[in-house]
Amino acid sequence: MRPTLAAGIHRLADPKITLASAASLLVGTAAAARDGPLAWGWVVVCVAGIFALEVAKNASGELVDYDSGADQAVAPADRSPFSGGKRVLVDGLLSKRETAAVAAVAYSVGIAAGLAVVFAREPRVLWLGLAGVGLAWFYHSPPFRLSYRGLGELAVAAAYGPGIACGVYLTQRHAIGAEVLLASLPLGLLIAAFLWINEFPDYLADRASGKRTLVVRLGRPRASRVFAAMIGLAYAGALALPGAGLPPATLLALLGLAPGVAAARRLAAEPERTARIVPAQGWTLISFVLYAVGMAAGFLVGS
């Protein structure tokens, strides 16, 4: 394997971005462990399938964003470790054919893992799996092009919140518990907030290429206020969860509040300067990771 091919595949499997699916997997698995013993083999199958779909989405999205000009339009001053696409085509690490091949293999692995769960473990996972594959493909691709029509943020909140967490729980417990559903809603909102803040450095490139994200539609100053509201709503929801029947220990999810607030304050102060936004992007990632770790610990401690 030539070095650029290996580097390109590594970028498509970006560990920073796959933390979103890992966070939801953690919450769903911890909730399932609270309610009974885990079938660890099926945990591994779920992890492999979801990770493969993550890579597949990134690869197919690269092709669409390259053809639309969105990735090429990102100015050097607006490049960020968290946004601007994976740039495997822009930087010449992979060809279009190679990127399409990675997408095809990764979609095949993800779908195969899902079908294994459907036929050998829990048939009702089929509907969540179909939704997950559909959102991964149509996030960028026609005819829906969700991320180009201001629907990508909602898709991310649904997929990385209830979609993954409830799918993992359903695989283990053969039902969807109200507790895991409630716990996954603030997490989905926090992961959507991570996408939201990552759209700020791409604002000019997205606008120029016709990628009408909600940040583009609102403009960066107003979108920064919406970001703060998303963080506040997510943690207000987390604070209310014990009152809805979750273990009091799930308040450990509030560990993510401080970096979330810090990110909101930084973004509100500097919504149009990428160099100043990058730390806030990192704090937003830390926020949802700490939420997931705290929520998982709360489920296990409260079991």
35 φ/ψ angles, rounded to the nearest 5 degrees: -100, 5
Q: What is the CATH number of the domain that holds 34?
A: 1.10.600
1's CB contacts (< 8 A; 6+ apart) are none
Per-residue pLDDT reduced to its tens digit, 258-285: 999 999 999 999 999 999 999 999 999 9
Query: What pLDDT is stored for residue 303 in this prediction?
Result: 61
Cα(147)–Cα(155) distance, rounded to whole angstroms?
9
- Contact present, 190 and 52 (Cβ < 8 Å): no
Longest dimension (CA), the chain: 55
Say yes or no to pLDDT of 210 above 90.
Answer: yes
Indicate the residue type of 76. P
Say yes or no to pLDDT of 187 above 60.
Answer: yes
Per-residue pLDDT reduced to its tens digit, 113-138: 999 999 999 999 999 999 999 999 99
Count of domains forming the chain: 1
Say yes or no to pLDDT of 1 above 80.
Answer: no
16-20, 27-31, 232-236, 271-275: which range is least confident on average? 16-20
**pTM summary value:** 0.96
Confidence of residue 18 (pLDDT cuts 50, 70, 90): confident
Domain span holding position 93: 3-301
Say yes or no to pLDDT of 71 above 70.
Answer: yes
Stretch 147-165: mean pLDDT: 97
Cα(147)–Cα(113) distance, rounded to whole angstroms?
26
